[in-house]
Amino acid sequence: MFAAPSLLAWGALATALAALFYRLGSGRRAAATAKMGRLATLSRLIPAETSGRRAVKAWLSCAALALLFVALAGPQWGVELAPTESKARGVVIAVDLSLSMLAEDVKPSRLEKAKEELSLLLDQLKGERVGVLGFAGDAFMMCPMTTDIDAAKQILRGLSPDSIPVPGTAIGGAVRAATRQLARYGGERTLVLITDGEDHQHALDQAAAEAADNGVKIYAIGIGSQDGEPIPIKDDAGNLQGYKKDKRGATVVSKLGDALLTQATQKTGGAYYRATPGEDEVNEIVQKIERGEKGEAVQGTASHYRNRFMLPLALAFLLLLVELLIPEKRALPPISRFGKIIRHVADVGAKKALVPIVLLILGTSAAQAATAEGALRRGNKLYQTDQFEPALEQYAAAGAKSPKDARPVFNAGDALYRLQRLDEASQAFKAVAESKLPPDARAAAYYNLGNARYQAGDLAGAIDAYRKAVVLDPADEEARHNLAVALKNQKNPPPKKKDQDKKQDKKKDQPDKDKPQPSGGQNNADKGRPPETKTRPQDQMSREDAERIMRAVADKERSASKQLQLQKQPVKKPDVEEDW
């Protein structure tokens, strides 16, 4: 494959013309020599080898010219992943998910009104880098920073007070979490805060000052009424069961905190708005955000063919060097092995010498690829017959021979999952998920990472992995289903039994050999049984680099195992005085 194949035709024409000019020049030289005298007499003056060497030099020059045009045409094979950059502003939307947002002084409720405002805001922020943060007594990034507005809206629709396990309202913590997230990006940084303004931890002033120091502007939309409203408690069917009461048994009346929000926004150069039925405040906030400066950031990765012009270019320069080293009127000094090579080229011609060189280079590259592919396919065949331990050995061999290929790591994670070695499987899937692969491959890895963590009893980790899978692939129904199951079981843990609602790993019964597969280190998007795929050879890594990476992975696995043990320990919910 060539980037500019039309240059090959021009190269062929130029090479043919060069050969023609040489033939014409040779003929004219012979005619001129014949006019000068008898050939036997002239041969005493001109060395006999001169004409043969001129022919060899001409062939070398023509071959070098042809190779130069091949290099200009841009030969390409193999695939590499390159980061794509785009200019965008950073916006974090923080929505209050505390119980007080269920008050109905704004119809149908404060939370539903907040979702309407957020949906309109997201529609007008297309092209920007947006994240959704939910907060109550604690703050959590429900949707990481992304330019995929549809994914952010999908996450938004599922928000509820149950999404945050810690009750209460801590606006200061939400501002700090948003500031940390925005600090990673350049350009205009904006926090849009949608809340009723009740802050039980009274840390908003200090958090707003920290946001201002980091260049974050806060725009707040207050939802609620100053007179206040009781917080209704309803059952699953939506029937009113009563109203929220505090520790002393008094009915809680939640009021809008205008003053607190106004003071916080003024510190950062932002503005405070009260929610209106027409939602005009959203348009004003968008206009102010669009006046800010955009910053550059990595948006994703794209697959590109690798440019291989250096190979024909190097061969062209080598031929030109050999042509320069061949004299016309004196013998070649056989003083080195390189001199013997030059003499051989002079004897047999550049055309014959190039063939074994090119075959040797291409053969070496193909042999390296074949060894990695062979190990990967043997591992897949063993996997198909449920021989997971031998399959792991083959995947390890394939990974050692092609360290940049993510497929052996992904498939090894799946085999470890089948062997119930869940910690190791999680590490493998996490390595693929956090790589620079395309979104579909990372989504598959996050999905299986969620399954491994779920089976290990790490519901929080499983929820996090499923959320990231949904963000990368919003159309994945199975990831959304498993996310809902994990959230439900986190809120109401079921008795210990095999979860029949949770879906198994996605898998294929047989590999589809005829279906085109991704190449250049990308893994197949299939999330379960590893398919046999055909890919191009990968660049190799030095032994020292490989050993250093393996040591780092081992250290990371030990650290992750300790952290996983800590996560399995029961966590007591804090006893919050004001849990609304």
Q: Distance between CA atoms of 437 and 444, rounded to whole angstroms? A: 11
Are 97 and 161 within 8 A, CB to CB?
Answer: yes
pLDDT tens, residue by residue, 253-274: 888 888 889 999 999 999 999 9
Residue 353: C-alpha distances to residues 60, 187, 249, 318, 335 (Å):
10, 57, 95, 12, 20
pLDDT tens, residue by residue, 307-322: 888 888 899 889 888 8
- What pLDDT, on a 0 to 100 scale, did the predictor assign at position 41? 66
- How remote is the C-alpha of 366 from its chain's centroid? 28
- Mean pLDDT across the stretch 500-509? 41
- What pLDDT, on a 0 to 100 scale, did the predictor assign at position 248? 83
- What pLDDT, on a 0 to 100 scale, did the predictor assign at position 438? 85
- State the Cα torsion 207-296-92-572 to the nearest 10°: -70
- Where does the chain hold its CATH 1.25.40.10 domain(s)? 375-568
Give, for 171, the enclosing helix (H) or strand (E).
helix 171-182
- What pLDDT, on a 0 to 100 scale, did the predictor assign at position 495? 59
Question: Tell me, which fold does domain 90-293 have in CATH?
Answer: Rossmann fold (3.40.50)
Give, for 143, the enclosing helix (H) or strand (E).
strand 139-146
- β-bridge pairing 216-222 and 271-274: parallel
- What pLDDT, on a 0 to 100 scale, did the predictor assign at position 549? 41
- Mean pLDDT across the stretch 56-62? 86
Q: Distance between CA atoms of 223 and 36, rounded to whole angstroms? A: 106
Report whether pLDDT(388) > 50. Answer: yes
CATH class of 375-568: mainly alpha
At 455, list the tokens: 């089976």
pLDDT-derived band at 494, boundaries 50, 70, 90: low
Residue 91 φ then ψ, to 5°: -130, 125
DSSP 523: P
The mean pLDDT of the chain is 75
Contacts of 368 (CB under 8 A, 6+ apart): 401, 537, 540
- Where does the chain hold its CATH 3.40.50.410 domain(s)? 90-293
Report whether pLDDT(536) > 80. Answer: no
Instruction: Please report the DSSP string for 354-403 in residue order.
Output: HHHHHHHHHHHHHHHHHHHHHHHHHHHHHHHTT-HHHHHHHHHHHHHH-T
pLDDT tens, residue by residue, 125-164: 888 889 999 998 889 888 888 888 888 888 888 888 888 8
Q: Comparing 118-127, 294-303, 432-441, 544-553, which segment has the lowest mean pLDDT?
A: 544-553
Q: Comparing 18-32, 457-471, 508-522, which segment has the lowest mean pLDDT?
A: 508-522
pLDDT tens, residue by residue, 186-239: 778 899 999 988 877 778 889 999 999 999 999 999 998 888 889 898 888 878
